[in-house]
Amino acid sequence: MQPATSTRTPAAVLPYALTALVALACFVALGRYVITAGEPSILLGWERALFDHSTLVAWWLTWACYADALIPICIVLLLLAWRFQSWRARLVFAVISLLVSWRAADFAQRFFERVRPAAWVVKHETSFSYPSSHAAICAGFYALLAVMLYSSDLPKTPRVAASAALLLFALAVCWSRLALGAHYITDLLGGIVLGTAVAAAALCGSRLSSRGIGAS
Protein backbone atom coordinates (compact mmCIF):
# COMPACT_ATOMS: atom_id res chain seq x y z
CA MET A 1 0.00 0.00 0.00
CA GLN A 2 1.20 3.52 -0.88
CA PRO A 3 -1.62 5.84 0.17
CA ALA A 4 0.68 8.64 1.29
CA THR A 5 2.37 8.93 -2.10
CA SER A 6 -0.94 8.87 -3.96
CA THR A 7 -2.49 11.62 -1.85
CA ARG A 8 0.49 13.93 -1.55
CA THR A 9 1.83 13.89 -5.09
CA PRO A 10 -1.03 15.77 -6.83
CA ALA A 11 -0.58 18.66 -4.40
CA ALA A 12 3.19 18.58 -5.00
CA VAL A 13 2.78 19.04 -8.75
CA LEU A 14 0.06 21.71 -8.51
CA PRO A 15 2.58 24.61 -8.71
CA TYR A 16 3.94 23.19 -11.97
CA ALA A 17 0.45 22.88 -13.43
CA LEU A 18 -0.38 26.47 -12.46
CA THR A 19 2.92 27.67 -13.92
CA ALA A 20 2.11 25.94 -17.21
CA LEU A 21 -1.33 27.56 -17.40
CA VAL A 22 -0.08 31.06 -16.51
CA ALA A 23 2.83 30.83 -18.96
CA LEU A 24 0.52 29.66 -21.74
CA ALA A 25 -1.86 32.57 -21.08
CA CYS A 26 1.08 35.03 -21.16
CA PHE A 27 2.27 33.51 -24.45
CA VAL A 28 -1.11 33.99 -26.12
CA ALA A 29 -1.51 37.52 -24.74
CA LEU A 30 1.95 38.58 -25.92
CA GLY A 31 1.34 37.07 -29.36
CA ARG A 32 -1.90 38.96 -29.79
CA TYR A 33 -0.19 42.17 -28.68
CA VAL A 34 2.77 42.00 -31.07
CA ILE A 35 0.71 41.20 -34.16
CA THR A 36 -1.51 44.23 -33.52
CA ALA A 37 0.84 46.78 -31.94
CA GLY A 38 4.20 45.63 -33.30
CA GLU A 39 7.51 45.69 -31.46
CA PRO A 40 7.59 48.16 -28.52
CA SER A 41 9.78 51.10 -29.46
CA ILE A 42 11.77 50.82 -26.22
CA LEU A 43 13.10 47.44 -27.40
CA LEU A 44 14.13 48.51 -30.90
CA GLY A 45 17.26 50.31 -29.69
CA TRP A 46 18.44 47.23 -27.79
CA GLU A 47 17.87 45.08 -30.84
CA ARG A 48 19.92 47.42 -33.04
CA ALA A 49 22.72 47.44 -30.45
CA LEU A 50 22.89 43.64 -30.32
CA PHE A 51 22.64 43.10 -34.07
CA ASP A 52 25.65 41.79 -36.05
CA HIS A 53 28.10 41.32 -33.18
CA SER A 54 30.28 38.21 -32.68
CA THR A 55 28.55 36.71 -35.69
CA LEU A 56 30.58 33.50 -35.86
CA VAL A 57 29.97 32.73 -32.18
CA ALA A 58 26.28 33.50 -32.64
CA TRP A 59 26.10 31.11 -35.59
CA TRP A 60 27.75 28.31 -33.58
CA LEU A 61 25.32 28.87 -30.71
CA THR A 62 22.27 28.94 -32.94
CA TRP A 63 23.14 25.42 -34.17
CA ALA A 64 22.37 24.10 -30.66
CA CYS A 65 18.67 24.17 -31.54
CA TYR A 66 18.89 22.65 -35.00
CA ALA A 67 18.14 18.98 -35.64
CA ASP A 68 21.81 18.19 -36.40
CA ALA A 69 22.66 18.96 -32.77
CA LEU A 70 19.42 17.99 -31.04
CA ILE A 71 19.09 14.47 -32.45
CA PRO A 72 22.48 13.24 -31.10
CA ILE A 73 21.76 14.92 -27.74
CA CYS A 74 18.40 13.14 -27.51
CA ILE A 75 19.99 9.79 -28.38
CA VAL A 76 22.52 10.24 -25.58
CA LEU A 77 19.80 11.20 -23.09
CA LEU A 78 17.66 8.20 -24.01
CA LEU A 79 20.68 5.90 -23.60
CA LEU A 80 21.28 7.41 -20.17
CA ALA A 81 17.60 6.95 -19.33
CA TRP A 82 17.89 3.28 -20.27
CA ARG A 83 21.03 2.88 -18.13
CA PHE A 84 20.02 4.84 -15.02
CA GLN A 85 16.54 3.99 -13.78
CA SER A 86 16.46 6.79 -11.18
CA TRP A 87 16.80 9.36 -13.99
CA ARG A 88 14.59 7.57 -16.50
CA ALA A 89 11.39 9.58 -16.03
CA ARG A 90 13.21 12.92 -15.97
CA LEU A 91 15.24 12.31 -19.11
CA VAL A 92 12.34 10.84 -21.08
CA PHE A 93 10.12 13.78 -20.21
CA ALA A 94 12.95 16.20 -21.08
CA VAL A 95 13.07 14.72 -24.59
CA ILE A 96 9.27 14.87 -24.83
CA SER A 97 9.37 18.51 -23.69
CA LEU A 98 11.94 19.29 -26.39
CA LEU A 99 9.77 17.79 -29.13
CA VAL A 100 6.60 19.48 -27.90
CA SER A 101 8.32 22.88 -27.51
CA TRP A 102 9.78 22.59 -31.00
CA ARG A 103 6.55 21.60 -32.73
CA ALA A 104 4.39 23.98 -30.68
CA ALA A 105 6.61 26.91 -31.67
CA ASP A 106 6.43 25.94 -35.34
CA PHE A 107 2.63 25.69 -35.15
CA ALA A 108 2.34 29.03 -33.33
CA GLN A 109 4.51 30.75 -35.94
CA ARG A 110 2.05 29.72 -38.64
CA PHE A 111 -0.85 30.84 -36.44
CA PHE A 112 0.44 34.34 -35.59
CA GLU A 113 2.19 34.91 -38.95
CA ARG A 114 4.51 37.65 -37.74
CA VAL A 115 7.05 38.72 -40.35
CA ARG A 116 10.76 38.38 -39.53
CA PRO A 117 12.99 41.46 -39.01
CA ALA A 118 14.19 42.94 -42.29
CA ALA A 119 17.88 43.02 -41.32
CA TRP A 120 19.72 39.71 -40.98
CA VAL A 121 23.19 38.16 -41.25
CA VAL A 122 24.52 34.68 -42.14
CA LYS A 123 21.14 33.05 -42.83
CA HIS A 124 17.87 34.50 -44.06
CA GLU A 125 15.13 32.79 -42.03
CA THR A 126 12.01 32.39 -44.16
CA SER A 127 9.55 31.09 -41.56
CA PHE A 128 7.43 33.39 -39.42
CA SER A 129 8.89 35.14 -36.41
CA TYR A 130 6.68 34.74 -33.30
CA PRO A 131 7.58 32.83 -31.24
CA SER A 132 11.26 31.96 -31.52
CA SER A 133 11.56 28.19 -31.71
CA HIS A 134 15.13 28.52 -30.44
CA ALA A 135 13.92 30.30 -27.31
CA ALA A 136 11.15 27.74 -26.83
CA ILE A 137 13.69 24.92 -27.02
CA CYS A 138 16.04 26.76 -24.67
CA ALA A 139 13.31 27.05 -22.04
CA GLY A 140 11.57 23.74 -22.73
CA PHE A 141 14.73 21.65 -22.93
CA TYR A 142 18.04 23.20 -21.86
CA ALA A 143 16.60 25.18 -18.95
CA LEU A 144 14.41 22.21 -18.00
CA LEU A 145 17.50 20.00 -17.80
CA ALA A 146 19.10 22.67 -15.60
CA VAL A 147 16.13 22.58 -13.21
CA MET A 148 16.16 18.78 -13.15
CA LEU A 149 19.87 18.74 -12.37
CA TYR A 150 19.60 21.39 -9.68
CA SER A 151 16.74 19.59 -7.91
CA SER A 152 18.43 16.20 -8.08
CA ASP A 153 20.35 14.40 -5.33
CA LEU A 154 23.71 14.75 -7.11
CA PRO A 155 26.57 16.37 -5.12
CA LYS A 156 25.96 20.08 -4.65
CA THR A 157 29.00 21.54 -6.44
CA PRO A 158 28.67 19.67 -9.77
CA ARG A 159 24.88 20.01 -9.94
CA VAL A 160 24.99 23.75 -9.25
CA ALA A 161 27.81 24.24 -11.77
CA ALA A 162 26.08 22.15 -14.43
CA SER A 163 22.73 23.87 -13.88
CA ALA A 164 24.29 27.33 -14.10
CA ALA A 165 26.19 26.36 -17.25
CA LEU A 166 23.03 25.11 -18.95
CA LEU A 167 21.10 28.26 -18.05
CA LEU A 168 23.90 30.51 -19.32
CA PHE A 169 24.09 28.45 -22.48
CA ALA A 170 20.34 28.83 -23.04
CA LEU A 171 20.61 32.61 -22.59
CA ALA A 172 23.55 32.71 -25.00
CA VAL A 173 21.53 30.89 -27.66
CA CYS A 174 18.73 33.44 -27.23
CA TRP A 175 21.27 36.25 -27.64
CA SER A 176 22.53 34.63 -30.84
CA ARG A 177 19.12 35.02 -32.46
CA LEU A 178 19.27 38.79 -31.91
CA ALA A 179 22.88 39.00 -33.07
CA LEU A 180 21.91 37.27 -36.33
CA GLY A 181 18.82 39.44 -36.78
CA ALA A 182 16.54 36.40 -36.83
CA HIS A 183 14.06 37.61 -34.21
CA TYR A 184 12.68 40.49 -32.18
CA ILE A 185 13.08 40.50 -28.40
CA THR A 186 9.36 39.81 -28.03
CA ASP A 187 9.78 36.71 -30.22
CA LEU A 188 12.31 35.43 -27.71
CA LEU A 189 10.08 36.28 -24.77
CA GLY A 190 7.21 34.46 -26.45
CA GLY A 191 9.38 31.42 -27.05
CA ILE A 192 10.59 31.45 -23.45
CA VAL A 193 7.11 31.53 -21.94
CA LEU A 194 5.89 28.86 -24.38
CA GLY A 195 8.85 26.64 -23.52
CA THR A 196 8.25 27.34 -19.83
CA ALA A 197 4.65 26.16 -20.17
CA VAL A 198 5.78 22.93 -21.82
CA ALA A 199 8.63 22.41 -19.33
CA ALA A 200 6.29 22.89 -16.36
CA ALA A 201 3.93 20.31 -17.84
CA ALA A 202 6.88 17.96 -18.35
CA LEU A 203 7.89 18.40 -14.71
CA CYS A 204 4.34 17.44 -13.71
CA GLY A 205 4.56 14.33 -15.84
CA SER A 206 7.98 13.30 -14.59
CA ARG A 207 7.00 13.76 -10.94
CA LEU A 208 3.76 11.82 -11.37
CA SER A 209 5.54 9.06 -13.29
CA SER A 210 8.46 8.71 -10.88
CA ARG A 211 6.21 8.65 -7.79
CA GLY A 212 3.83 6.11 -9.20
CA ILE A 213 0.42 7.74 -9.00
CA GLY A 214 -2.28 5.20 -8.59
CA ALA A 215 0.12 2.43 -7.59
CA SER A 216 -1.37 -0.12 -5.25
Total structural domains within the chain:
1
pLDDT greater than 90 at residue 9: no
Q: Are 121 and 181 in contact (CB under 8 A)?
A: yes
The pTM score is: 0.90
Q: Answer whether residue 86 is part of any domain.
A: yes
Report the alpha-carbon distance of residue 216 to residue 205 in Å, rounded: 19
Helices 88-112 and 3-37, packing angle to 10 deg: 20
Largest CA distance in the chain: 62
Q: Answer whether residue 73 is part of any domain.
A: yes
DSSP states of 79-125 as a string? HHHHH-GGGHHHHHHHHHHHHHHHHHHHHHHHHH-PPPPS--SS---
Report the alpha-carbon distance of residue 39 to residue 19 in Å, rounded: 26
Q: Answer whether residue 216 is part of any domain.
A: no
Query: Which has the closest alpha carbon to 55: 138, 133, 119, 128?
Result: 119
Q: Are 210 and 90 in contact (CB under 8 A)?
A: yes
118-168 pLDDT tens trace: 999 998 888 999 999 999 999 999 999 999 999 998 999 999 999 999 999
Report the alpha-carbon distance of residue 190 to residue 192 in Å, rounded: 5
- 195 or 7: which leads in pLDDT: 195
Q: Are 202 and 140 in contact (CB under 8 A)?
A: yes
Report the alpha-carbon distance of residue 23 to residue 136 in Å, rounded: 12
Structural domain harbouring 151: 3-211
155-166 pLDDT tens trace: 999 999 999 999
pLDDT greater than 80 at residue 190: yes
pLDDT greater than 60 at residue 98: yes
